[in-house]
Amino acid sequence: MSIVIVTGSAGLIGAETVRHFINEGHTVAGIDNDMRAYFFGAEASTRWAAEQLMKEFNKYRHHAADIRDYAEVEKVFKEYAGAIVLVIHTAAQPSHDWAAREPLTDFGVNAIGTLNLLELTRLYAPEIPFIFTSTNKVYGDTPNYLPLVEQDTRWEVEPGHPYAEHGIDETMSIDQCKHSIFGASKVAADVMVQEYGRYFGMKTAVFRGGCLTGPGHSGAELHGFLSYLMKCAITGKEYRIFGYKGKQVRDNIHSKDLVNCFAHFARNPRSGEVYNMGGSRHSNCSMAEAITMCEEIVGKKMNYGYVETNRIGDHIWWISDVRRFQSHYPEWKYEYDIHAILKEIYHGFEGRI
């Protein structure tokens, strides 16, 4: 029996990861205590996804451990010692707005939880790949100081700039900028994952995600851009745009495309790697453009309002340059673009709201 440990296993990326690796023939030990409901309220609970996984797969083993609790997580590693072939860490406090409310909780989940998992992997399965879902927020607000040009429906980088054609690569500095509390806790985790790769020689990879999305998202106002947007489009609930004239740009990657990246890395792992990973120029939109697309899919006008003040640390323009990952894993390809993603999210809500 081969065991893949997946943290945040009932979340968007975690549940997609569970399905992928069970379908590859592995048994998955999922760690998820539904902290998302604590962060964002009952409507954002992932309990439904955990129950669905337990019902769908007899090779799924659910553990409601808190990753901040070293002793509890160690029980999982001890139970499967000798059979663990991969650890994929997707659990997180994911909102920069929420992090400022409880910095200790945010740092505990994002930084201490990650360190716990790294150390337990080093002790119980040091030769296996360890994959971590980081965030583009480790770059703080540095992208906002790029030469940006306002267009009719979006902001864009000035033509001729090195990032204009392919997006932002991994050489952008993470220093001398405002990260948000969330961004800072993810920096700590991000650097620690790199260090366990470089110092201990472990096979670690950091995936700095743009907007990760898909029909399995339990979207809420503070996290889950496209999912929450589509939910508002369907229900008529007011969606609030925060600053930048609604022209802020996000690249969006479907959870299946991201998990496929994980699978490529797991088959041929490297040590201490860092990859920017998002929709790139293949799949991106501004908030205004996303609203128009949602209205077209749902068939009615959205109810939305505008708040002049932007969120602290929010990016005006972000598009990931994914060429580093593609150079290492040239067989990897996108399956979804922004239009396909939104249509699938729309159909995913059928029967749920």
What is the 3-state composition of the chain as percent helix, strand, coil, each rounded to the nearest 5? 45, 20, 35
For the chain, what is the domain count?
Answer: 1
pLDDT band at 215 (very low <50, low <70, confident <90, very high): confident
Within a domain: 353: no
Share of the chain above pLDDT 70, in %: 97
Which H/E stretch holds residue 40? helix 35-40
Residue closest to 127 by CA, chosen among 269, 321, 304 = 269
Residue 132's domain comprises: 3-348
CA atoms of 230 and 249, how far apart (whole Å): 17
Q: Are strands 239-242 and 203-209 parallel, antiparallel or unpaired?
A: unpaired
CA atoms of 250 and 269, how far apart (whole Å): 28
Average pLDDT on 78-97 reads 95
pLDDT in tens, 279-332: 999 999 999 999 999 999 999 999 999 999 888 778 999 999 999 999 999 999
Torsion of CA 318, 323, 329, 334, to 10 degrees: 50
Torsion of CA 254, 145, 206, 201, to 10 degrees: 160
The type of residue at 52 is: Q
pLDDT value for 13: 95
Residue 224 reports pLDDT greater than 70: no
Is the distance from CB of 51 to CB of 89 less than 8 angstroms? no
For residue 19, what is the domain's CATH number?
3.40.50.720
* pTM attached to this predicted model: 0.94
CA atoms of 181 and 95, how far apart (whole Å): 9
Cα–Cα–Cα angle for 101, 105, 110, rounded to 5 degrees: 115
Give Cβ neighbours of residue 346 (< 8 Å, ≥ 6 apart): 230, 234, 294, 297, 298
CA atoms of 173 and 216, how far apart (whole Å): 32
What 3-state DSSP class applies to 141?
coil
Within a domain: 195: yes
Within a domain: 43: yes
Mean pLDDT, the chain, whole residue set: 95
Question: Residue for token digits 């965030």?
Answer: 135
Answer with the residue of higher pLDDT: 327 or 219: 327
Residue closest to 86 by CA, chosen among 3, 194, 29 = 3
Buried b (16+ CB within 10 A) or exposed e, 75-109: ebbeebeeebbbbbbbbbbbbbbbbeeeeebbbbb
Share of the chain above pLDDT 90, in %: 88
pLDDT in tens, 147-194: 999 999 999 999 999 999 999 999 999 999 999 999 999 999 999 999
Within a domain: 285: yes
pLDDT in tens, 35-55: 999 998 888 899 999 999 999
pLDDT in tens, 261-283: 999 999 999 999 999 999 999 99
Q: Give, in order, the Cα–Cα distances in Å from 244 to each of 143, 211, 232, 286, 332.
A: 14, 18, 20, 10, 34
What 3-state DSSP class applies to 28?
strand
Give Cβ neighbours of residue 17 (< 8 Å, ≥ 6 apart): 4, 6, 9, 28, 88, 90, 259, 262
The span from the first CA to the last CA of the chain, in angstroms, equals 38
H helical segments located in 138-254: 180-200, 225-235
pLDDT value for 223: 64
Residue 83 reports pLDDT greater than 90: yes
pLDDT band at 219 (very low <50, low <70, confident <90, very high): low
Q: Which two tokens stand for residue 324?
A: 């580093």
